[in-house]
Structure 1
Amino acid sequence: MTNRTSNKFSPEVRERAVRLLLEHKGEYPSEWAAMTSIAAKIGCTGETLRHWVRQAERDQGLRAGPTSEDRERIKALEREVRELRQANEILRKASA
Protein backbone atom coordinates (compact mmCIF):
# COMPACT_ATOMS: atom_id res chain seq x y z
CA MET A 1 0.00 0.00 0.00
CA THR A 2 1.48 3.34 -0.98
CA ASN A 3 0.99 6.61 0.81
CA ARG A 4 -0.42 8.86 -1.91
CA THR A 5 -0.55 12.40 -0.58
CA SER A 6 -1.01 14.22 2.66
CA ASN A 7 -4.56 14.88 3.79
CA LYS A 8 -5.12 18.35 2.42
CA PHE A 9 -8.74 18.50 3.53
CA SER A 10 -9.98 18.32 7.11
CA PRO A 11 -12.56 15.72 8.10
CA GLU A 12 -15.09 18.56 8.48
CA VAL A 13 -14.58 19.66 4.87
CA ARG A 14 -14.92 16.07 3.68
CA GLU A 15 -18.13 15.56 5.65
CA ARG A 16 -19.55 18.85 4.38
CA ALA A 17 -18.74 17.94 0.77
CA VAL A 18 -20.37 14.52 1.11
CA ARG A 19 -23.43 16.09 2.76
CA LEU A 20 -23.69 18.71 -0.01
CA LEU A 21 -23.56 15.99 -2.64
CA LEU A 22 -26.24 13.90 -0.95
CA GLU A 23 -28.50 16.93 -0.50
CA HIS A 24 -28.11 18.31 -4.03
CA LYS A 25 -27.40 15.39 -6.39
CA GLY A 26 -31.05 15.36 -7.51
CA GLU A 27 -30.53 18.83 -8.98
CA TYR A 28 -27.99 17.52 -11.51
CA PRO A 29 -28.43 15.24 -14.53
CA SER A 30 -26.10 12.61 -13.00
CA GLU A 31 -24.26 11.85 -9.79
CA TRP A 32 -20.96 12.55 -11.56
CA ALA A 33 -22.17 15.98 -12.72
CA ALA A 34 -23.06 16.77 -9.10
CA MET A 35 -19.68 15.50 -7.91
CA THR A 36 -17.65 17.59 -10.35
CA SER A 37 -19.69 20.72 -9.62
CA ILE A 38 -19.49 20.40 -5.83
CA ALA A 39 -15.84 19.31 -5.96
CA ALA A 40 -14.95 22.49 -7.86
CA LYS A 41 -16.57 24.56 -5.10
CA ILE A 42 -14.69 22.66 -2.38
CA GLY A 43 -11.38 22.81 -4.25
CA CYS A 44 -10.85 19.09 -4.87
CA THR A 45 -11.31 16.86 -7.90
CA GLY A 46 -14.48 14.98 -8.74
CA GLU A 47 -12.62 11.71 -8.26
CA THR A 48 -11.56 12.75 -4.76
CA LEU A 49 -15.14 13.58 -3.82
CA ARG A 50 -16.31 10.28 -5.35
CA HIS A 51 -13.83 8.46 -3.11
CA TRP A 52 -15.09 10.31 -0.02
CA VAL A 53 -18.72 9.54 -0.90
CA ARG A 54 -18.04 5.83 -1.47
CA GLN A 55 -16.15 5.62 1.84
CA ALA A 56 -19.03 7.36 3.64
CA GLU A 57 -21.41 4.81 2.09
CA ARG A 58 -19.20 1.96 3.37
CA ASP A 59 -19.06 3.54 6.83
CA GLN A 60 -22.88 3.74 6.89
CA GLY A 61 -23.25 0.12 5.75
CA LEU A 62 -24.77 1.14 2.42
CA ARG A 63 -21.90 -0.30 0.36
CA ALA A 64 -19.75 -3.39 0.77
CA GLY A 65 -16.12 -2.97 1.79
CA PRO A 66 -13.98 -2.00 4.75
CA THR A 67 -15.18 0.88 6.91
CA SER A 68 -12.83 3.70 7.92
CA GLU A 69 -12.49 2.01 11.32
CA ASP A 70 -11.56 -1.29 9.64
CA ARG A 71 -9.00 0.47 7.43
CA GLU A 72 -7.35 2.14 10.44
CA ARG A 73 -7.22 -1.19 12.28
CA ILE A 74 -5.67 -2.90 9.23
CA LYS A 75 -3.03 -0.16 8.95
CA ALA A 76 -2.17 -0.52 12.65
CA LEU A 77 -1.87 -4.30 12.33
CA GLU A 78 0.31 -4.01 9.21
CA ARG A 79 2.57 -1.56 11.06
CA GLU A 80 2.81 -3.97 14.02
CA VAL A 81 3.67 -6.91 11.72
CA ARG A 82 6.38 -4.82 10.02
CA GLU A 83 7.90 -3.86 13.40
CA LEU A 84 7.81 -7.47 14.64
CA ARG A 85 9.49 -8.70 11.47
CA GLN A 86 12.24 -6.12 11.91
CA ALA A 87 12.71 -7.15 15.54
CA ASN A 88 12.86 -10.83 14.55
CA GLU A 89 15.44 -10.06 11.88
CA ILE A 90 17.60 -8.18 14.40
CA LEU A 91 17.33 -11.06 16.90
CA ARG A 92 18.12 -13.64 14.21
CA LYS A 93 21.25 -11.74 13.13
CA ALA A 94 22.34 -11.23 16.76
CA SER A 95 22.07 -14.94 17.54
CA ALA A 96 24.06 -16.00 14.46
Structure 2
Amino acid sequence: MTKKKHTPAYPAELRERGVRLFRENRVNYSSDSATYKAIAPKLGCSPDSLRAWCQQAERDDGQRAGLTTEERDRIKELERENKELRQTNEILKKASAYFAQAELDRPFRK
Protein backbone atom coordinates (compact mmCIF):
# COMPACT_ATOMS: atom_id res chain seq x y z
CA MET A 1 0.00 0.00 0.00
CA THR A 2 2.20 2.81 -1.26
CA LYS A 3 0.96 6.33 -1.71
CA LYS A 4 1.91 8.61 -4.54
CA LYS A 5 4.36 11.29 -3.57
CA HIS A 6 3.00 14.80 -3.47
CA THR A 7 4.37 16.81 -6.35
CA PRO A 8 4.65 20.52 -5.64
CA ALA A 9 2.46 22.80 -7.71
CA TYR A 10 5.49 24.81 -8.79
CA PRO A 11 8.91 23.44 -9.77
CA ALA A 12 11.87 24.18 -7.51
CA GLU A 13 13.52 26.24 -10.28
CA LEU A 14 10.53 28.58 -10.42
CA ARG A 15 10.55 29.03 -6.64
CA GLU A 16 14.29 29.74 -6.62
CA ARG A 17 13.84 32.23 -9.46
CA GLY A 18 11.00 33.94 -7.58
CA VAL A 19 13.10 34.27 -4.42
CA ARG A 20 16.03 35.63 -6.44
CA LEU A 21 13.81 38.16 -8.25
CA PHE A 22 12.30 39.27 -4.95
CA ARG A 23 15.71 39.80 -3.36
CA GLU A 24 17.03 41.68 -6.38
CA ASN A 25 13.99 43.96 -6.72
CA ARG A 26 13.08 44.56 -3.08
CA VAL A 27 14.81 47.96 -3.04
CA ASN A 28 12.72 49.18 -6.01
CA TYR A 29 9.41 49.00 -4.11
CA SER A 30 8.01 50.73 -1.06
CA SER A 31 7.27 47.50 0.83
CA ASP A 32 7.77 43.75 0.68
CA SER A 33 4.06 43.35 -0.03
CA ALA A 34 4.28 45.62 -3.08
CA THR A 35 7.28 43.62 -4.29
CA TYR A 36 5.38 40.33 -3.96
CA LYS A 37 2.40 41.78 -5.83
CA ALA A 38 4.59 43.07 -8.66
CA ILE A 39 6.70 39.94 -9.17
CA ALA A 40 4.15 37.14 -8.60
CA PRO A 41 2.08 37.73 -11.78
CA LYS A 42 5.25 37.59 -13.88
CA LEU A 43 5.94 34.11 -12.46
CA GLY A 44 2.34 32.93 -12.74
CA CYS A 45 1.83 32.42 -9.02
CA SER A 46 0.03 34.22 -6.22
CA PRO A 47 1.76 36.83 -4.06
CA ASP A 48 1.11 34.61 -1.02
CA SER A 49 2.97 31.72 -2.65
CA LEU A 50 5.92 33.95 -3.43
CA ARG A 51 5.88 35.33 0.14
CA ALA A 52 5.92 31.79 1.56
CA TRP A 53 8.83 30.80 -0.69
CA CYS A 54 10.82 33.86 0.35
CA GLN A 55 10.16 33.29 4.03
CA GLN A 56 11.20 29.63 3.75
CA ALA A 57 14.37 30.67 1.90
CA GLU A 58 15.15 33.06 4.76
CA ARG A 59 14.65 30.21 7.27
CA ASP A 60 16.95 27.97 5.22
CA ASP A 61 19.60 30.73 5.16
CA GLY A 62 19.32 31.25 8.93
CA GLN A 63 17.93 34.78 8.60
CA ARG A 64 14.54 33.92 10.09
CA ALA A 65 13.50 31.73 13.02
CA GLY A 66 11.74 28.47 12.26
CA LEU A 67 12.31 25.05 10.78
CA THR A 68 14.49 24.74 7.72
CA THR A 69 13.37 22.66 4.76
CA GLU A 70 15.76 19.86 5.78
CA GLU A 71 14.36 19.83 9.32
CA ARG A 72 10.77 19.76 8.05
CA ASP A 73 11.57 16.88 5.70
CA ARG A 74 13.31 14.97 8.49
CA ILE A 75 10.34 15.45 10.82
CA LYS A 76 7.97 14.20 8.11
CA GLU A 77 10.17 11.16 7.58
CA LEU A 78 10.28 10.41 11.32
CA GLU A 79 6.51 10.84 11.66
CA ARG A 80 5.95 8.45 8.75
CA GLU A 81 8.34 5.92 10.30
CA ASN A 82 6.67 6.33 13.70
CA LYS A 83 3.25 5.65 12.16
CA GLU A 84 4.56 2.54 10.43
CA LEU A 85 6.10 1.25 13.67
CA ARG A 86 2.86 1.84 15.58
CA GLN A 87 0.96 -0.15 12.96
CA THR A 88 3.51 -2.96 13.15
CA ASN A 89 3.28 -3.02 16.96
CA GLU A 90 -0.51 -3.19 16.77
CA ILE A 91 -0.34 -6.13 14.37
CA LEU A 92 2.16 -7.93 16.65
CA LYS A 93 -0.05 -7.34 19.71
CA LYS A 94 -3.07 -8.79 17.93
CA ALA A 95 -1.08 -11.78 16.69
CA SER A 96 0.29 -12.38 20.18
CA ALA A 97 -3.19 -12.25 21.69
CA TYR A 98 -4.52 -14.59 19.01
CA PHE A 99 -1.83 -17.21 19.59
CA ALA A 100 -2.09 -16.89 23.38
CA GLN A 101 -5.84 -17.54 23.14
CA ALA A 102 -5.23 -20.51 20.83
CA GLU A 103 -2.81 -21.93 23.41
CA LEU A 104 -5.45 -21.61 26.16
CA ASP A 105 -8.12 -23.26 23.99
CA ARG A 106 -5.94 -26.30 23.27
CA PRO A 107 -6.87 -29.44 25.23
CA PHE A 108 -4.73 -30.09 28.29
CA ARG A 109 -2.31 -33.04 28.07
CA LYS A 110 -1.29 -35.12 31.08
TM-score (norm 2): 0.80
What CA distance in whole angstroms lies between the structure 1 residues aligned with 2:20 and 2:35? Answer: 12
Q: CA deviation at 1:6?
A: 4.3
Where structure 2 has 5 or more consecutive residues not aligned to the other structure, the ranges are 1-5, 98-110
Deviations for 1:66-85, whole angstroms, at most 9, x for unmatched residues? 11110110010000000000
What CA distance in whole angstroms lies between the structure 1 residues aligned with 2:7 and 2:35? Answer: 25
What CA distance in whole angstroms lies between the structure 2 residues aligned with 1:39 and 1:86? Answer: 43
Deviations for 1:47-69, whole angstroms, at most 9, x for unmatched residues? 11111000000000000111111
Please identify runs of 4+ aligned residues in structure 1 that moved more than 4 A.
none
Q: Report the 3-state secondary structure (helix = DSSP H, G, I; strand = E; otherwise coil) of the residue aligned with 1:62.
A: coil
What CA distance in whole angstroms lies between the structure 1 residues aligned with 2:18 and 2:41? Answer: 10
Q: CA deviation at 1:95?
A: 1.0
What CA distance in whole angstroms lies between the structure 1 residues aligned with 2:67 and 2:9? Answer: 22
Where structure 1 has 5 or more consecutive residues not aligned to the other structure, the ranges are none
The Cα RMSD (Å) is 1.1
What CA distance in whole angstroms lies between the structure 2 residues aligned with 1:75 and 1:8? Answer: 19
Task: Write the letter of the residue equivalent to 1:43.
Answer: G
Q: Say yes or no: does 1:78 pair with 2:79.
A: yes
Q: Residue 7 of structure 1 aligns with which residue?
A: 8
Q: Residue 50 of structure 1 aligns with which residue?
A: 51
Q: Residue 27 of structure 1 aligns with which residue?
A: 28
Q: Say yes or no: does 1:67 pair with 2:68.
A: yes
Task: Write the letter of the residue equivalent to 2:72.
Answer: R
Q: Residue 41 of structure 1 aligns with which residue?
A: 42
Task: Write the letter of the residue equivalent to 1:57.
Answer: E
